[in-house]
Amino acid sequence: MVTEAKEKTLVVIQLTGGNDFINTIVPYNNEHYYDARKKIVITQTDVLPINEELAINNNARPLKRLFDEGKVAIVQGIGYPNSNRSHFRGMDIWHTCEPDRVGSEGWLGLAIRDLDPKSENVLTGVNIGQGLPRAMSVAGVPITSVGDLEGYGVMNKIEQERLKERSLQAFKDIYGQAIGSGQVAEYIGKTGLDVLKGADLLANVATQYKSSVEYADNSIAKSLRDVARVHFANLGTRVFYTNHGGYDTHANEMPTHPKLLSDLSGAISDFMDDLKEHDAADDVAILVFTEFGRRMRDNGSGTDHGSGGGAFLIGNNVKGGLYSEYPSLNPNDWEHGEDLKHTIDFRGIYGTVLEQWLGLDAKPIVKGEFEQIKPFYI
C-alpha cells in the first residue's frame, strides 16, 4: 500500500439508536444465538459468511464486497464497563469518554483542537447534518456544521455589492461584540463569525464537484456525498462527522434493520468508489460506531437495549479482518441478565484512531490508556 506524507482524514459515522451487532455480524453457526433469538434472527441461509463462525448480514452486501477487498476492520465486542442501557447516557459516554461523570467536552472536539490549536481553519472539523454532535463540541473550538451546503452563509440574497458589504460588516460588528457578554451570547457571536469564514471557503464547493458515482436517495448516502464534496475541495478538513438514525429497533426489527444496513453499506461503498475516482482513498479512514449493542434474547418483535456492540474501520489503508473477540454468547457469560460482555473498551479504539491515524496523543483525550489494535497499514 502506498502512503504519502499527506494529512489523514477521519470520517465518523454514528449509528443512532444502538445497532444490533449480533444481527449485523451474525454468529451463524452458534447454537446459543439460535436458542436466544427466536424471531429476530438471521437464518443460516441468509448470510454472507466470512469464516466458519461469522457472517455478514445478507443486506449489507456492499460491506461484504469491501470486506473481501480487505478494507474493513470489524471491531468485535466494543463497549464500556457498567453500561446502564440508556441511549442518552450511552451516547454521552461515547461522545465524551466520561463513563463515571457527565462530561462536557467531546473527544473529537478535543482532537480538532490538537489538530488546529490556534483555530486557524473553521473547517478542520465539519459536521454534515443538523445539530452539532456532542462529540465535536468543546468550548472555543470552531466546528462547521453544514445542513444545507448550497445555502450556507449569510446575506446571500443581497446582490448589490456595496449594500452586501455594509450588511456583512454590520453582521460582523454585532456578532463580534457579543464576545464577552455572557456565555451563550458569546457562543452565538463566535458561531456567527465562523459562519462568515466558512461560507467564504465553502462558496464554490457544490458547483466544483464532479463525479460519476451516483449515490442512492437516502439520508446517509446524501450525507456521505456531502462529505465527499467538501473533502475533494481540499479545504483542510481532518475530521468529518455524520449520523444515520433509526437503529433503536425494539419492534419491527425484521423489516427495518435490513433497510438500514442496506442504505448504510451502499452509501459507504459509493463513498469509497468516489474516493477512488478522486484519487483520495489512501488518506481517508471511516469509523462507524453505535452507542450500544442489543440484548441476546429478542422480545418477539425487536430487541431491547444491551451492551457489547461492534464498530467498523473502513478504508484503503485499513487492514481488513476481525479485531478483538466476539463477545461470548454462552448464557453463563451474560451480564445484567442477558447483555453480552464487551471485550474491548471503545476508548482503546478511539486511541487507535487518534494516535495511529491522526497522529495525536490520545491519553488526554480518552482520559487514560486503553488497549489499542493495529488496523492501519501506515
Partner 1 sequence: MVKIYKGNAMKSDRQLVAHLMRRAGFGATPQDLDSLTSDKSYEEIIDDLVTPERFEPIDMSYVERYYTGEPVAVHVGKWLYRMANTKRPLEEKMSLFLHHIFPVAWGKSEHGPSLYREIEMFRSTGLTNFKHILLQLSQDPAMLFWLDNHENHKDEINENYGRELLELFSMGVGNYTENDIKNASRAFTGWTFRQPLSLYPYGHHHADFEFLPEDHDYDEKVFLGHVGNFDGEDIIDIIVEQNAAAKFLSRHLYNFFVEDEVQVPSWETIDPKNPQAIEELSKAYMESKGDMRHILKTLFNSDFFKNSLTLSKVKSPTELIVGVIKQTGEFNTPTPGIHEFAVTTLNGSAIEGPLAIMGQRLMNPPTVEGWHTGSEWIDSGTLSERIGFVEKQFADPTKPGVSEMVSRAGNLDDNPSELVDRCLDLLGAVNVRHETYQSLTDYARELKGLEDSAGVHNLIQMTASTVDYQFA
15 vs 248: CA distance, rounded Å? 9
Neighbours of 279 (CB within 10 A): 9
CB of 24: closest distance to partner 1 in angstroms?
20
- In the list 65, 132, 278, 341, the residue contacting partner 1 (rule: CB under 8 A) is 132
CB of 70: closest distance to partner 1 in angstroms?
34
Q: 322 has which bridge partners?
A: 74
Q: Which residues contact 338 (CB under 8 A, 6 or more apart)?
A: 36, 295, 296, 297, 306, 331
- In the list 187, 236, 281, 322, the residue contacting partner 1 (rule: CB under 8 A) is 187
User: What Cα–Cα distance (Å) separates residue 157 from each residue in 149, 160, 195, 208?
Assistant: 15, 9, 15, 21
The region of 26-34, 140-148, 233-241, 351-359 touching partner 1 under the rule CB under 8 A is: 140-148
Q: Is 258 an interacting residue with respect to partner 1 (CB under 8 A)?
A: no
CB of 12: closest distance to partner 1 in angstroms?
16
Number of residues forming the site for partner 1 (CB under 8 A): 70
The region of 42-50, 157-165, 266-274, 320-328 touching partner 1 under the rule CB under 8 A is: 157-165
Q: What is the dihedral of CA 353, 274, 91, 217, to 10 degrees?
A: -170
186 vs 318: CA distance, rounded Å? 41
User: What mask of x and - would describe binding to partner 1 in positions 229 to 248, judged by CB under 8 A?
Assistant: ----------------xx-x
Selection from 334, 352, 327, 315 nearest residue 3 by Cα: 315
User: What mask of x and - would describe binding to partner 1 in positions 36 to 65, judged by CB under 8 A?
Assistant: ------------------------------
> What is the DSSP secondary-structure string of 49-104?
ESSSS-EEEGGGHHHHHHHHTT-EEEEEEEE-TT----HHHHHHHHHH--SSS---
Q: Is 34 an interacting residue with respect to partner 1 (CB under 8 A)?
A: no
Cβ–Cβ < 8 Å for 102, 92: yes
User: In whole angstroms, what separates CA 330 from the centre of its chain?
Assistant: 30
CB of 356: closest distance to partner 1 in angstroms?
29
The region of 23-31, 141-149, 343-351, 370-378 touching partner 1 under the rule CB under 8 A is: 141-149
Selection from 22, 111, 76, 94 nearest residue 311 by Cα: 76
- In the list 162, 207, 279, 332, the residue contacting partner 1 (rule: CB under 8 A) is 162
The region of 148-156, 261-269, 340-348, 364-372 touching partner 1 under the rule CB under 8 A is: 148-156
Cβ–Cβ < 8 Å for 75, 293: no
Neighbours of 173 (CB within 10 A): 9
The region of 22-30, 124-132, 269-277, 357-365 touching partner 1 under the rule CB under 8 A is: 124-132
Q: Is 142 an interacting residue with respect to partner 1 (CB under 8 A)?
A: yes
User: In whole angstroms, what separates CA 326 from the centre of its chain?
Assistant: 21
Q: Is 88 an interacting residue with respect to partner 1 (CB under 8 A)?
A: yes
Q: Is 192 an interacting residue with respect to partner 1 (CB under 8 A)?
A: yes
Q: Where is 227: in which H helix or E strand?
A: helix 219-232
Cβ–Cβ < 8 Å for 136, 123: no
Name the grid cell of 186. Answer: 458569546
Residues numbered 194-223 forming contacts with partner 1, rule: CB under 8 A: 194-195, 198-199, 219, 222
Q: Is 119 an interacting residue with respect to partner 1 (CB under 8 A)?
A: no
156 vs 163: CA distance, rounded Å? 11
Neighbours of 204 (CB within 10 A): 10
Residues numbered 286-305 forming contacts with partner 1, rule: CB under 8 A: 299-302, 304
The region of 58-66, 150-158, 203-211, 306-314 touching partner 1 under the rule CB under 8 A is: 150-158
Pick between residue 23 and residue 145 the one whose CB is nearest to partner 1: 145
CB of 105: closest distance to partner 1 in angstroms?
13
Q: Is 120 an interacting residue with respect to partner 1 (CB under 8 A)?
A: no
Where do contacts with partner 1 occur on this chain (CB under 8 A)? Answer: 16-17, 84-89, 92, 101-102, 122, 127, 130-132, 142-148, 151-158, 160, 162-163, 166-167, 170-171, 173-175, 177-178, 181-185, 187-189, 191-192, 194-195, 198-199, 219, 222, 245-246, 248, 250-251, 299-302, 304, 336
